[in-house]
């Protein structure tokens, strides 16, 4: 665990008050990210203003492929807002959201935080999930004021589960780093933290998050440099637990899937939502309908599109009531068109390549592996659960970019930020 002595505090932060203010804003933003909307936005704005000003005073660093990736994500969103299928909708509001998320990740990537500061932020973000998670559990299991587990600011059960999936992977990364540490005094605490977050995924009843979370857990154990004995015991216990809650005594999330299968609705109407998405994508193939304009599309527009091809329109094939496409890939295709879709896929694959390359070079470095595993948890959650939900937006986009940027920042500072070699 990172420790900050009084001497180091005086040496670094009293002399550099602006950096202290920046870290304070970032910490407060992370504290409120899953909890309260207004404070979250205020402290995010404070962080960005302070960080961008302070970075403008520092010596500019070399431009990397990741600067181009972040810029292209903003540019594609800007173009779809400038030339949308529906003018006067929510396209500029959607663009502002994308601009804010990417700017946050970009700014954090270019920060000058040392390892202890990054590790502190990593741990603090995990711990700040606990207050809204505990309150969400009380609401759903004790007070019954919510029919499912939700983090207050994140909202809907599926979106909250995406957030928790990333945090579960991050908590396991922290546990593994403690198991590899010389002094293992925090292993018990980090183990409880990991178990608690994993349990919350099961309670959430999000099938996509449940599946991806356990695949992620298995992958992180296998990729870790833990002793074979610890790996074997951990994976055996995990397998026994998984078999128990899936086959012997099915957990509610499994019973939910069984019920859907019995009702011949495995995808919970997602196939009809995706059918709408494919049709909407035809309306403006190159640049999309504009960020956030999904709800502006009417059934008459879909009908007109279908009939323009000489086909018979069947309203039963489409679900137009859902507020998003329930698929991150279709969401990009619909909102930002083919151009935005290609850029988003490039973002996904470059992220994956940097994960693979940094793992190959740094898998013996426990410091690097903490951030690599955190980044991998975000990648798996966003692009894995993304097949059945819209994952890269609002709190989940900010959290994913937080873990990615800590990873990239570490690599940049150690001169290991190479994608293709």
Per-residue pLDDT, 143? 95
Per-residue pLDDT, 89? 84
Domain count, the chain: 1
- Residue 193's alpha-carbon distances to 168, 200, 283, 291, in angstroms, are 9, 11, 47, 37
Mean pLDDT calculated for residue range 102-108: 98
Per-residue pLDDT, 288? 95
Measure CA 268 to chain center.
Answer: 23
Per-residue pLDDT, 8? 58
355 within some domain: yes
318 within some domain: no
Please say if the pLDDT value at position 264 is more than 60: yes
Mean pLDDT calculated for residue range 348-370: 94
Residue 181 region, left (φ>0) first, then alpha (ψ -120 to 50), else beta? beta
Q: Percent of the chain having pLDDT more than 70?
A: 95
Cβ of 319: how many Cβ atoms within 10 Å?
18
32-36, 147-151, 183-187, 242-246: least confident range: 183-187
Q: Which domain holds residue 235?
A: 6-262+326-413
Tokens coding 196: 């608690």
24-33, 72-81, 247-256, 348-357: least confident range: 247-256
Per-residue pLDDT, 265? 86
109 within some domain: yes
Which residue pairs, CB below 8 angstroms and at least 24 apart, start in 252-257? 252/202, 252/203, 252/205, 253/202, 253/204, 253/205, 253/206, 253/207, 253/210, 256/205, 256/207, 257/207
Stronger pLDDT, 105 or 180, i.e. the higher one: 105
Rounded distance between C-alpha atoms, residue 57 and residue 345, angstroms: 34
Per-residue pLDDT, 1? 45
DSSP 8-state class, residue 88: T
Tokens coding 184: 């293992």
Q: What is the 3-state secondary structure (H, E, C) of 129-165?
A: CHHHHHHHHHHHHHHCCCCCCCCCCCCCHHHHHHHHH
Contact yes or no for 336/80 (Cβ under 8 A): yes
Contact yes or no for 35/60 (Cβ under 8 A): no
Per-residue pLDDT, 267? 87
Rounded distance between C-alpha atoms, residue 336 and residue 102, angstroms: 15
Reduced to 3 states (helix: H, G, I; strand: E, B; else coil), residue 114 is coil
User: Where does 248-327 have alpha helices with state H?
Assistant: 252-262, 270-281, 299-308
Mean pLDDT calculated for residue range 368-373: 96
Please say if the pLDDT value at position 384 is more than 50: yes
Per-residue pLDDT, 367? 92
Longest dimension (CA), the chain: 76
pLDDT in tens, 228-239: 999 999 999 999
305 within some domain: no
Per-residue pLDDT, 419? 63
Confidence band for 382, pLDDT divided at 50, 70 and 90: very high
pLDDT in tens, 272-329: 999 999 999 999 999 999 998 998 898 999 999 999 988 999 988 888 788 889 999 9
Rounded distance between C-alpha atoms, residue 128 and residue 135, angstroms: 12
Rounded distance between C-alpha atoms, residue 173 and residue 372, angstroms: 9
| DSSP H helix total and E strand total for the chain | 17, 0
Please say if the pLDDT value at position 244 is more than 70: yes
pLDDT in tens, 194-228: 999 999 999 998 999 999 999 999 999 999 999 99
Contact yes or no for 332/340 (Cβ under 8 A): yes
Per-residue pLDDT, 315? 87
pLDDT in tens, 1-44: 444 455 555 566 666 889 999 999 999 999 999 999 999 999 99
Per-residue pLDDT, 2? 46
Tokens coding 101: 């998320």
284 within some domain: no
CA dihedral 365, 164, 152, 105 (to 10 degrees): 40
How does the average pLDDT of the chain come out, rounded? Answer: 92
283 within some domain: no
Neighbour-count burial of 262, counting CB atoms closer than 10 A to its CB (0-12 exposed, 13-18 middle, 19+ buried): exposed
Per-residue pLDDT, 13? 65
165 within some domain: yes
pLDDT in tens, 265-285: 888 889 999 999 999 999 999
Please say if the pLDDT value at position 404 is more than 60: yes
pLDDT in tens, 331-343: 999 999 999 999 9
Rounded distance between C-alpha atoms, residue 23 and residue 113, angstroms: 9
143 within some domain: yes
Q: For the chain, how many residues are written?
A: 421
Residue (of 338, 325, 328, 334) closest to 400 by Cα position:
328
């Amino acid at each position: 665990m990172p420790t900050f002595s009084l001497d180091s505090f005086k040496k670094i932060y009293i002399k550099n008050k602006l950096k202290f203010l920046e870290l304070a804003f970032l910490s407060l933003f992370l504290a409120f990210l899953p909890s309260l909307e207004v404070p979250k936005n205020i402290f995010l704005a404070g962080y960005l203003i302070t960080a961008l000003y302070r970075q403008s005073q520092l010596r500019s660093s070399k431009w990397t492929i990741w600067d181009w990736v972040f810029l292209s994500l903003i540019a594609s969103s800007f173009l779809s807002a400038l030339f949308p299928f529906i003018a006067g909708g929510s396209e500029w509001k959607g663009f502002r959201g994308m601009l804010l998320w990417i700017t946050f990740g970009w700014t954090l990537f270019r920060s000058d935080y040392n390892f202890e500061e990054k590790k502190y932020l990593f741990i603090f973000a995990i711990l700040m999930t606990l207050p809204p998670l505990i309150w969400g559990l009380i609401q759903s299991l004790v007070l019954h004021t919510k029919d499912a587990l939700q983090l207050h600011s994140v909202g809907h059960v599926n979106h909250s589960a995406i957030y928790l999936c990333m945090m579960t992977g991050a908590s396991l990364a922290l546990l593994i780093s403690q198991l590899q540490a010389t002094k293992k005094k925090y292993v018990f605490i980090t183990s409880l933290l990991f178990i608690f977050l994993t349990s919350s995924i099961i309670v959430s009843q999000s099938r996509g998050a449940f599946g991806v979370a356990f695949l992620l857990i298995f992958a992180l154990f296998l990729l870790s440099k833990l002793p074979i004995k610890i790996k074997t015991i951990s994976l055996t216990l995990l397998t026994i637990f998984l078999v128990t809650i899936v086959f012997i005594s099915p957990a509610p999330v499994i019973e939910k899937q069984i019920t859907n299968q019995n009702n011949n609705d495995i995808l919970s109407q997602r196939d009809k939502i995706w059918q709408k998405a494919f049709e909407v994508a035809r309306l403006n193939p190159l640049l999309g309908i504009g960020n956030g304009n999904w709800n502006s599309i009417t059934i008459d527009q879909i009908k007109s599109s279908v009939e323009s091809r000489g086909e018979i329109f069947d309203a039963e094939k489409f679900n137009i009531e859902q507020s998003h496409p329930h698929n991150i890939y279709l969401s990009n295709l619909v909102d930002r068109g083919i151009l935005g879709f290609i850029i988003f896929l490039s973002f996904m694959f470059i992220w994956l390549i940097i994960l693979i390359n940094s793992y190959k070079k740094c898998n013996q470095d426990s410091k690097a592996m903490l951030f690599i595993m955190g980044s991998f948890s975000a990648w798996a959650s966003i692009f894995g659960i993304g097949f059945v939900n819209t994952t890269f937006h609002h709190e989940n986009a900010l959290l994913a970019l937080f873990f990615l940027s800590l990873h990239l920042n570490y690599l940049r500072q150690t001169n290991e930020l190479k994608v293709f070699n």
